[in-house]
Amino acid sequence: MGHGHGHGMPASASGRHVGRLAAAFTVTAVFMVVEVGAGVATGSLALLSDGAHMVTDVLGLGLALTAIMVARRARRSSGQTFGLYRAEVLAALANAVLLFGVAGYVLYEAATRFSSPPDVPGLPVVVVSLLGLAANVVAFLLLRRGASESLNLRGAYLEVIADLVGSLGVLVSGLVTLLFGWRYADPVLGVAIGLFVLPRTWTLARRSLRILFQHAPERVDVEALTGALAELPGVGEVHDVHVWTLTSGMEVASAHLSVGPGCDQSAVLAAAQELLAREYQLEHATVQVENGVTASCRELRW
C-alpha cells in the first residue's frame, strides 16, 4: 500500500498581510472615536450609522488580526493536526454577522426618521465625512492586495469598502443639507448604506459557511477530478475522494486509488500527485494506492 502527500503546511494567505491589517486596524480605531463622537454631538443618523459601522469595523479587524495571530502561534499537536487556521474563517463569519446587524439597524433607524426628519447641521457632517473618507482610503489601500488571497482579509476589506462608500454618502448628505437644507438627505443616506452592505455581507457569509461545512472549493469540479484520476495508467477505481479548504489559500485533498496486482504503486502515486498539483493546484494531497478495494473502504457508508 502506498501513500503520499506534500510535506508541511504553508503560511496562510492572511499571515502574509498581518502588518497591513494591523495598520488598517489602527487607522480605523482612531477615526471611529472621532466619528461616533461627532455623530452624538450633531444628532446625524448618517454619522451615527457610519460610526456604528466603524465600530464593527474595529471589532472585525480586531477579530481578523487575532485569528491570524492565534493561527500563527498555535502548534500542531495530536489534537490539532491542522493547527488553528479555521479561526480565520470563524472571524470572517463573525464579521458577516456584525455587518448584517449594522445594516438592519441602519435600515430600521432610517425608516423611523422619514416621518419626522431631524434638523442636522451640515458643516460638521461634511468635515467629519472628509476625515472619514481619508481614513477609509488609507485602510482600503492597505487591505486591497490581501483581500484577493484571504477570506479573512476579504471580510475586513468589505467592511472598509462599505465604510468608504458610507463616507462618500455622508459627505453628499452633509453637502445637500448645508446647501439646500433638505432634511431627508440624512435618512435617505442611511437606507442607501444598509442596502449597499447587505449583498456583500451575504457573499462573505456564504463563502465562510462553505469552508466551515467543508464543501469543495468552487473552482474544483470533484467529478472531473475523480475521472482524471481514474484515467491514470494502472488505476482501476477511485474512491473516497475529498477536497476541502482549510482556510483561504490552503486547500487539501485526499483519495484512494485501487490498482491491479503487479502495478507499480510508486509510479501511480507520483502521477496522481503531479496531476492534482498541475491541473487543480492541490499541492497538499494525501493519496493512498491499494491493491483492490479494502474491506474497510467497502464498509464505510458516510
pLDDT single digits (tens) 151-198:
667 767 777 777 777 778 778 877 887 888 777 777 787 777 777 778
Nearest residue to 197 via CA among 170, 172, 171, 163? 163
Query: Quick one: 47 and 179 in the same domain?
Result: yes
Query: Quick one: 151 and 249 in the same domain?
Result: no
CB 279 within 8 A of CB 298: no
Q: Read off the pLDDT of residues 221-237 as tens digits, 9 standing for 90 and up.
A: 999 999 999 999 999 99
Q: Read off the pLDDT of residues 116-128 as tens digits, 9 standing for 90 and up.
A: 766 666 777 788 8
DSSP summary character for residue 300: -
Query: Quick one: 290 and 189 in the same domain?
Result: no
Distance of CA 48 to the CA centre of its chain: 26
Query: Quick one: 183 and 38 in the same domain?
Result: yes
Q: Does the residue 3 lie in any domain?
A: no
CA distance 179 to 137: 26
CA distance 81 to 84: 9
- pLDDT value for 7: 44
CA distance 44 to 65: 31
CA distance 170 to 174: 6
Q: Does the residue 5 lie in any domain?
A: no
What is this structure's pTM?
0.67
CATH code of the domain covering residue 116: 1.20.1510.10
Q: Read off the pLDDT of residues 121-149 as tens digits, 9 standing for 90 and up.
A: 677 778 887 888 888 888 888 887 766 66
Q: What is the arithmetic mean of pLDDT over 253-271?
A: 92
Domain that holds residue 259: 216-299
Q: Give the largest CA-CA distance in the chain.
A: 86
CA distance 202 to 49: 19
Q: Kindly state the cell numbers that stand for 240.
A: 473516497
Nearest residue to 159 via CA among 63, 261, 77? 63
Q: Does the residue 143 lie in any domain?
A: yes
CATH code of the domain covering residue 270: 3.30.300.30
* pLDDT exceeds cutoff 90 at 260: no
Q: What is the arithmetic mean of pLDDT over 232-244?
A: 93
Estimate the share of the chain in helix, then strand, then coil, as percent rounded to the nearest 5.
65, 10, 20
> For the chain, what is the domain count?
2
- pLDDT value for 229: 96
Q: Does the residue 149 lie in any domain?
A: yes
Nearest residue to 234 via CA among 183, 268, 202? 268
**Does 163 or 4 have the greater pLDDT score?**
163
Query: Quick one: 257 and 197 in the same domain?
Result: no
DSSP summary character for residue 6: -
Query: Quick one: 83 and 175 in the same domain?
Result: yes
Query: Quick one: 27 and 172 in the same domain?
Result: yes
Domain boundary, last residue among 183, 212, 241: 212
DSSP summary character for residue 17: G
Neighbours of 236 (CB within 10 A): 13
Q: Read off the pLDDT of residues 64-109 as tens digits, 9 standing for 90 and up.
A: 777 677 766 655 555 666 767 777 788 778 878 877 887 787 788 7
Query: Quick one: 99 and 121 in the same domain?
Result: yes
Query: Quick one: 206 and 91 in the same domain?
Result: yes
Helix (H, G, I), strand (E, B) or coil at 221: coil
Domain boundary, last residue among 179, 194, 212: 212
Q: Does the residue 8 lie in any domain?
A: no
- pLDDT value for 76: 54
Q: Does the residue 2 lie in any domain?
A: no
**Strand-pair partners of 257:** 238, 289
CA distance 142 to 145: 7
Q: Does the residue 106 lie in any domain?
A: yes
pLDDT band at 9 (very low <50, low <70, confident <90, very high): very low
Query: Quick one: 268 and 205 in the same domain?
Result: no
Query: Quick one: 244 and 154 in the same domain?
Result: no
Domain boundary, last residue among 212, 237, 258: 212
Q: Does the residue 294 lie in any domain?
A: yes
CB 288 within 8 A of CB 273: no
Query: Quick one: 134 and 270 in the same domain?
Result: no
